[in-house]
Amino acid sequence: NVIAKTTDAGLTWTEYKINNLGGKMMQVRFADPMHGYIACLYDKFIRTSDGGQSWQVSSTGFNTGYYSISIAEGILYMSGQGKMIRSENNGQSWTSLSNSPYDIFDLHFTTKKTGYAVGRGNYSGGDWGYAYGSLYCTNDGGNTWSGTAELAGTRFIQAVSYPTPSTGYAISLNSIVKITQ
Protein backbone atom coordinates (compact mmCIF):
# COMPACT_ATOMS: atom_id res chain seq x y z
CA ASN A 1 0.00 0.00 0.00
CA VAL A 2 2.88 2.35 -0.75
CA ILE A 3 3.35 4.64 -3.72
CA ALA A 4 6.89 5.84 -4.49
CA LYS A 5 7.55 9.15 -6.25
CA THR A 6 10.75 10.59 -7.70
CA THR A 7 11.39 14.11 -8.96
CA ASP A 8 15.10 13.67 -9.78
CA ALA A 9 15.12 10.88 -12.39
CA GLY A 10 15.16 8.12 -9.76
CA LEU A 11 18.07 9.26 -7.58
CA THR A 12 15.79 9.64 -4.55
CA TRP A 13 12.27 8.45 -3.80
CA THR A 14 9.52 9.61 -1.46
CA GLU A 15 6.99 7.07 -0.21
CA TYR A 16 3.28 7.77 0.28
CA LYS A 17 1.26 5.21 2.23
CA ILE A 18 -2.36 4.52 1.28
CA ASN A 19 -4.29 3.69 4.45
CA ASN A 20 -7.25 1.31 4.32
CA LEU A 21 -6.78 0.53 0.64
CA GLY A 22 -8.57 -2.83 0.76
CA GLY A 23 -7.12 -3.81 -2.62
CA LYS A 24 -3.87 -4.51 -4.42
CA MET A 25 -2.43 -1.80 -6.67
CA MET A 26 -1.74 -3.12 -10.17
CA GLN A 27 -0.87 -0.23 -12.51
CA VAL A 28 -0.31 3.52 -12.29
CA ARG A 29 -0.74 6.07 -15.10
CA PHE A 30 -0.49 9.85 -15.14
CA ALA A 31 -2.43 12.02 -17.59
CA ASP A 32 -0.18 14.99 -16.77
CA PRO A 33 2.18 15.91 -13.90
CA MET A 34 -0.74 16.57 -11.52
CA HIS A 35 -3.40 13.94 -12.40
CA GLY A 36 -2.60 10.29 -11.73
CA TYR A 37 -4.66 7.11 -11.48
CA ILE A 38 -4.10 3.59 -10.14
CA ALA A 39 -6.04 0.47 -11.14
CA CYS A 40 -6.48 -2.00 -8.26
CA LEU A 41 -7.89 -5.41 -7.52
CA TYR A 42 -11.00 -5.73 -5.31
CA ASP A 43 -12.94 -2.97 -7.11
CA LYS A 44 -10.63 -0.15 -6.01
CA PHE A 45 -9.51 2.91 -7.93
CA ILE A 46 -7.06 5.53 -6.64
CA ARG A 47 -6.53 9.05 -7.98
CA THR A 48 -4.50 12.17 -7.27
CA SER A 49 -4.95 15.71 -8.52
CA ASP A 50 -1.95 17.25 -6.74
CA GLY A 51 0.96 15.38 -8.30
CA GLY A 52 0.84 12.50 -5.83
CA GLN A 53 0.96 14.50 -2.60
CA SER A 54 -2.39 12.97 -1.62
CA TRP A 55 -4.40 10.04 -2.98
CA GLN A 56 -8.14 9.28 -2.83
CA VAL A 57 -9.39 5.68 -2.81
CA SER A 58 -12.81 4.93 -4.29
CA SER A 59 -14.81 2.03 -5.70
CA THR A 60 -16.01 1.74 -9.27
CA GLY A 61 -19.16 -0.07 -8.15
CA PHE A 62 -18.74 -3.04 -10.50
CA ASN A 63 -17.37 -5.53 -7.93
CA THR A 64 -14.42 -6.77 -10.00
CA GLY A 65 -10.65 -6.38 -10.02
CA TYR A 66 -8.68 -4.22 -12.42
CA TYR A 67 -5.22 -4.90 -13.84
CA SER A 68 -4.77 -1.98 -16.19
CA ILE A 69 -5.70 1.64 -16.81
CA SER A 70 -5.35 3.74 -19.96
CA ILE A 71 -5.91 7.45 -20.52
CA ALA A 72 -6.65 9.07 -23.88
CA GLU A 73 -7.91 12.60 -24.51
CA GLY A 74 -9.34 12.92 -21.00
CA ILE A 75 -11.12 9.55 -21.04
CA LEU A 76 -10.12 6.83 -18.52
CA TYR A 77 -10.44 3.13 -19.35
CA MET A 78 -9.86 0.24 -16.92
CA SER A 79 -9.71 -3.48 -17.62
CA GLY A 80 -9.16 -6.64 -15.66
CA GLN A 81 -10.99 -9.72 -14.48
CA GLY A 82 -14.41 -8.63 -15.75
CA LYS A 83 -15.69 -6.25 -18.38
CA MET A 84 -13.90 -2.98 -19.14
CA ILE A 85 -15.16 0.31 -17.80
CA ARG A 86 -14.87 3.93 -18.96
CA SER A 87 -15.00 7.28 -17.16
CA GLU A 88 -15.39 10.65 -18.82
CA ASN A 89 -15.12 12.63 -15.55
CA ASN A 90 -11.76 11.64 -13.99
CA GLY A 91 -13.15 8.55 -12.29
CA GLN A 92 -16.08 10.21 -10.52
CA SER A 93 -18.44 7.76 -12.26
CA TRP A 94 -17.93 4.74 -14.52
CA THR A 95 -19.80 3.10 -17.41
CA SER A 96 -19.49 -0.62 -18.16
CA LEU A 97 -18.44 -1.49 -21.72
CA SER A 98 -20.76 -4.46 -22.07
CA ASN A 99 -19.26 -5.84 -25.31
CA SER A 100 -15.66 -5.79 -24.07
CA PRO A 101 -13.39 -8.80 -23.55
CA TYR A 102 -12.44 -9.98 -20.05
CA ASP A 103 -9.15 -11.10 -18.44
CA ILE A 104 -7.35 -8.15 -20.01
CA PHE A 105 -3.96 -7.57 -18.37
CA ASP A 106 -2.98 -4.45 -20.29
CA LEU A 107 -4.94 -1.82 -22.11
CA HIS A 108 -3.68 0.96 -24.37
CA PHE A 109 -5.77 3.65 -26.05
CA THR A 110 -3.93 5.76 -28.64
CA THR A 111 -6.95 8.08 -29.01
CA LYS A 112 -10.30 8.21 -27.21
CA LYS A 113 -11.70 5.99 -29.98
CA THR A 114 -8.80 3.63 -30.82
CA GLY A 115 -7.65 1.10 -28.24
CA TYR A 116 -5.85 -2.23 -27.89
CA ALA A 117 -6.35 -4.86 -25.21
CA VAL A 118 -4.15 -7.88 -24.45
CA GLY A 119 -4.47 -10.63 -21.90
CA ARG A 120 -5.43 -14.21 -21.17
CA GLY A 121 -7.39 -16.01 -23.86
CA ASN A 122 -8.96 -19.44 -24.17
CA TYR A 123 -7.54 -22.51 -22.41
CA SER A 124 -5.86 -25.05 -24.70
CA GLY A 125 -7.32 -27.97 -22.75
CA GLY A 126 -5.97 -31.05 -21.06
CA ASP A 127 -3.98 -31.60 -17.89
CA TRP A 128 -0.93 -29.78 -19.24
CA GLY A 129 -2.76 -27.04 -21.09
CA TYR A 130 -2.13 -23.33 -21.10
CA ALA A 131 -3.94 -20.06 -21.70
CA TYR A 132 -3.49 -18.58 -25.17
CA GLY A 133 -2.75 -14.90 -25.56
CA SER A 134 -5.63 -12.63 -26.49
CA LEU A 135 -5.52 -9.45 -28.57
CA TYR A 136 -8.42 -7.12 -29.30
CA CYS A 137 -8.89 -3.67 -30.81
CA THR A 138 -11.64 -1.07 -30.88
CA ASN A 139 -12.25 1.96 -33.09
CA ASP A 140 -15.32 3.30 -31.30
CA GLY A 141 -14.12 4.01 -27.77
CA GLY A 142 -14.63 0.48 -26.50
CA ASN A 143 -18.26 -0.03 -27.47
CA THR A 144 -17.31 -2.91 -29.80
CA TRP A 145 -14.15 -5.02 -30.00
CA SER A 146 -12.65 -7.32 -32.62
CA GLY A 147 -9.81 -9.76 -32.15
CA THR A 148 -9.04 -13.21 -30.85
CA ALA A 149 -8.83 -15.19 -27.62
CA GLU A 150 -6.50 -17.74 -29.28
CA LEU A 151 -3.53 -15.77 -30.57
CA ALA A 152 -1.47 -18.45 -32.34
CA GLY A 153 1.98 -19.14 -30.95
CA THR A 154 1.53 -17.17 -27.74
CA ARG A 155 0.62 -17.74 -24.14
CA PHE A 156 -1.22 -15.12 -22.11
CA ILE A 157 0.06 -11.58 -22.68
CA GLN A 158 1.03 -9.55 -19.62
CA ALA A 159 1.89 -6.10 -20.99
CA VAL A 160 1.88 -3.95 -24.12
CA SER A 161 3.58 -0.70 -25.09
CA TYR A 162 2.91 1.50 -28.12
CA PRO A 163 5.88 3.73 -29.01
CA THR A 164 3.87 4.97 -32.01
CA PRO A 165 0.09 4.91 -32.60
CA SER A 166 0.44 2.13 -35.19
CA THR A 167 3.15 -0.12 -33.69
CA GLY A 168 3.07 -1.93 -30.36
CA TYR A 169 5.11 -4.54 -28.54
CA ALA A 170 3.63 -7.10 -26.15
CA ILE A 171 5.24 -9.49 -23.65
CA SER A 172 4.07 -13.12 -23.70
CA LEU A 173 6.12 -15.13 -21.18
CA ASN A 174 9.58 -15.27 -22.86
CA SER A 175 8.45 -13.81 -26.19
CA ILE A 176 7.94 -10.35 -27.60
CA VAL A 177 5.03 -9.94 -30.00
CA LYS A 178 5.09 -7.02 -32.45
CA ILE A 179 1.66 -5.55 -33.22
CA THR A 180 1.15 -3.37 -36.27
CA GLN A 181 -1.96 -1.60 -37.44
For residue 99, give the DSSP letter. T
Note the pLDDT of residue 174. Answer: 82
pLDDT (0 to 100) of residue 98: 87
**Which pLDDT value is given to residue 180?**
82
What is this structure's pTM?
Answer: 0.89
Q: To the nearest whole number, what is the mean pLDDT of the chain?
A: 91
pLDDT < 50: residue spans in the chain: none
The predicted pLDDT at position 86 comes to: 95
User: What pLDDT score was predicted for residue 83?
Assistant: 86
Q: What is the pLDDT of residue 93?
A: 93
51-59 contact pairs (CB < 8 A, 24+): 52/3, 52/5, 52/16, 53/16, 54/16, 55/3, 55/16, 55/18, 57/18, 57/20, 57/21, 57/22, 57/23, 58/91
User: Quick one: pLDDT at residue 164?
Assistant: 86
pLDDT, residue 181, reads: 72
